[in-house]
Chains A and B, each alone.
Chain A
Amino acid sequence: MDFKSTYITHTNCITPLGFDVESNLTSIAAGISGIERHEDSRLMASSFYAGAIQDDAIERAFAAISADKNYTRLEKMMILALYPVVKDSGVVFTKKTGLLIATTKGNISALTGITPPDSAYLAQLAQNVGDFFNFIAQPVVVSNACVSGILAVSVAKRLIQSGMYSEVFVVSGDELSEFVLSGFNVFQAMSDAPCRPYSANRSGVSLGEAAAAALVTTDAKAAKAKITGDASVNDANHISGPSRTGEGLVRSLVNAMNEAGVGPNEIDYISAHGTATPFNDEMEAVAFSRTGLTDVPVNSFKGYYGHTLGASGLLETVIGIECMLHNKLFKSLGYDSHGVSEPINVISENRECTINRFIKTASGFGGCNTAVVFEKIHHGDR
């Protein structure tokens, strides 16, 4: 069976570092982090570090594209992320134009009392976002913990290769909420300082919020990257702790690279998960070592954004693709002294580097892992 090639052609992101890709890259290049100390008793009784987007920035930006007041804050973030992607792509929607939304908790802040409001249902959130753009097809939602954003790219590729859709607009998003902050807090997983992925003194996550969007299509004309391999294999070990041997991530990496027809020595960069919990980062180091990826430059973007949950996989892919296009590696912000048992190659300074292929990885509660291989398009050769 022959499968069509799929590409990412248009991207955008809504983050504390800006409401377009360029502003985000500028801040990242300057080592600016979106993580700040917050005192907001609505979200948490004590102060906390997180990457938060200002409410009025969202309101202003949304008012510029619509007078409709009936969207939740997260829906606005997602719509803002998707808006230029839809517009710039020029795709004329058919019933085979897909909309795929990735989120872990959706409009969780809307939950009060014992009856969930309509907006608390993720399919309703997706429909609201879809209706803004007049998508014809019913939206699809992926809700698979913190791999959701990158898993959605993999799902989009599969949906197109299956013939179910001709192109898929992917949007990922999650907000800061009391619900999630309290949960990570009771899991003792929150750092009391900005997070330090892969560092010896790392002490947990800084949470964040963001939305990101991308168009996945077979039309290579405006392609930023080709999606050449994807896999999402479970650890089959524990529902919250990652596998000590990194089993699921190892298999995801191996399967994705096999599908892409490449070996570890052909991977130029890894945009990893790096949440800065003691166990996650160690598991990743073990997995990268087991798959022969120890020498590949690797970073986590969590030091710039915090952990944006369902948004993270796609947001970090969007930035990773720009790194590949511009042949730039950005330092893994927050990394100070090496704190994992394997000598993985954590990027400690911004530098130029030819990147033809990179891998995005993510892991999450429930033992899930995702790895996707992206390849640079040389628009001359086709």
Chain B
Amino acid sequence: MEALKQELKERIIKILNLEDITPGDINDDDALFGDGLGLDSIDALELIVMLDKDYGIKLSDPAEGKAIFHSVSTIAAYISEHRTK
């Protein structure tokens, strides 16, 4: 799970163009949206694409995204359980 979390941090930084941030800046349980990293609605959509492209998970209901993308830990847990890639 640790390797997956590290991979996720690197991916999130790259995919979301978080130029000034390093994986070390993101704590596993930090809120990614709202006050945390300040991600917005377009970032959430990009993460949905990432789940599909990199982990083979198609979110049937995008509203689920809010809970899944809460933090790196919650994303990692979801991916571990549902990944097909």
Residues of A within 8 A of B (CB): 186-188, 238-241
Contacts and interface: CB of A to CB of B under 8 A. Distances in A.
B45 A187 contact: yes
Nearest to A239: B42
B49 A240 contact: no
B49 to A, nearest CB: 7
Interface in B9-67: 40-42, 45, 48-49, 62
Nearest to A238: B40
Contacts of A186: 45, 49
Nearest to B42: A240
A238 B43 CA distance: 13
Given A240-B41, A241-B40, 4 more contacts: A186-B49, A188-B62, A238-B40, A240-B42
Contacts of B41: 238, 240-241
11 contacts: A186-B49, A187-B45, A188-B45, A188-B62, A238-B40, A238-B41, A239-B42, A240-B41, A240-B42, A241-B40, A241-B41
A190 to B, nearest CB: 12
A68 B49 CA distance: 44
Contacts of B48: 188
Contacts of B42: 239-240
Nearest to A187: B45
A188 B40 CA distance: 15
Contacts of B45: 186-188
Nearest to B46: A186
B41 to A, nearest CB: 5
Contacts of B40: 238, 241
Contacts of A240: 41-42
Nearest to A189: B45
B3 to A, nearest CB: 29
Contacts of A239: 42
A235 B84 CA distance: 41
A231 to B, nearest CB: 27
Contacts of A187: 45
- The 9 A-B pairs at the shortest CB distance, nearest first, are namely A188-B62, A241-B41, A240-B42, A187-B45, A188-B45, A186-B45, A186-B49, A240-B41, A238-B40
B39 to A, nearest CB: 13
A319 B41 CA distance: 34
A332 to B, nearest CB: 25
Query: Of B42, B48, B49, which is in contact with the most chain A CB atoms at under 10 Å from its CB?
Result: B42
A73 B8 CA distance: 45
A187 B62 CA distance: 10
A239 B40 CA distance: 11
Nearest to B59: A188
A98 B31 CA distance: 54
Query: Of A186, A187, A188, A241, which is in contact with the most chain B CB atoms at under 10 Å from its CB?
Result: A188
B26 to A, nearest CB: 23
B34 to A, nearest CB: 14
A310 B41 CA distance: 24
A186 B40 CA distance: 15
B48 to A, nearest CB: 8
A375 to B, nearest CB: 38
B44 to A, nearest CB: 9
Contacts of B62: 188
A280 B40 CA distance: 17
Nearest to A188: B62
A188 to B, nearest CB: 5
A214 B41 CA distance: 37
A188 B45 CA distance: 8
B63 to A, nearest CB: 9
